[in-house]
Amino acid sequence: MSRPPRFIVATGAIENGVARVMSKDLHHLRDVIRLAPGAALELIDETGNTYIGRLERFEPDAAVVALDACFVPKSPERRMILAPAIIKGPRMDLLVAKAVELGATELWPLITARSVVRGPSLDRRERWQRLADAAAKQSLSATPISILEPLTIESMAAIVPRDSLAILCAQGAEPLARLVREHHPRTILMACGPEGDFDDSERAQILDAGFVAAGLGSNRLRSETAALAALSIAAGALDEIGSNSKKG
């Protein structure tokens, strides 16, 4: 049996067992896939709660959904934090959306010495969150991704989670997959530089904060490719660890 279509709802739009789906999700529900009253659907809010319900009716600015059940997500078994240098326009948009699909739980955008974008506007940061929410909906991610305010290298170094495997993506270093398999981390933080990479001062600061250099292969990668490759490699290694532990 196929899974019902999934939409995003704000927690403030849920009351007394009824949810109101609005804005772009209303347009998609009503005008794109053209659901009719009585159709089953799934909703997810910004905290990761999932709701099962049926479309009751349309109002001018909302689809009214009668909720049958709510499922509260378990705490994630692992944290995969991606800390990429902010890059220009559509390339950063792509990075945000694909990071969600690849399983990132948090995004820490970095302002670096060689970043072309020095301080993204509020509109742009809100766009990243919309893209992340849409990707979570499409990929059936268990929880929406958390996107922090842009960080400097110093501020990132100050909030490295305790007992995490903190990785500095660097060409020619020990392979990332090998490090993940050796450390079995529950939390992994991966910092990826801009075009031209981190400068020497930033690299020293990151390593002084306890990061370990890790490689992503022999080819030189663009910033967004490196960030997504790091996520993919780490997720694959963590899945392998999980599968082996279940077999044992």
Whether 192 contacts 107, CB under 8 Å: no
Residue 243: predicted pLDDT? 66
200 by DSSP, 3-state: which? helix
Q: What is the pLDDT of residue 137?
A: 76
pLDDT surpasses 60 at 248: no
Distance of CA 196 to the CA centre of its chain: 24
d(CA 9, CA 107): 21
Burial of 145 (0-12, 13-18, 19+ CB in 10 A): buried
pLDDT tens sequence across 91-123: 999 999 999 999 999 999 999 998 877 778 888
CB–CB of 84/127 below 8 Å?
no
Q: In the CATH scheme, what architecture does the domain 6-71 have?
A: Beta Barrel (2.40)
Q: Can you say how many angstroms the Cα of residue 144 is from the centroid of all Cα atoms in its chain?
A: 7
Mean pLDDT of 14-33: 90
User: pLDDT at position 89, please?
Assistant: 81
**pLDDT band at 244; cut points 50, 70, 90:** low
The pLDDT tens digits of the residues spanning 176-189 come to 999 999 999 999 99
Q: Where are the domains of the chain?
A: 6-71, 79-247
pLDDT in tens, 205-214: 999 999 999 9
Average pLDDT value for residue range 142-154: 86
Domain 79-247 fold is Alpha/beta knot (3.40.1280)
Q: Do domains 6-71 and 79-247 have the same CATH topology?
A: no
pLDDT of residue 65: 95
Closest CA to 150 of 115, 197, 98: 115
Strands 40-44 and 50-59: antiparallel
The size of the chain, in residues, is 248
Average model confidence (pLDDT) for the chain? Answer: 89
How far is residue 79's CA from residue 101's CA, in Å, rounded to a whole number? 14
Cα atoms in the Cβ-side hemisphere of radius 13 Å centred on 3: 11
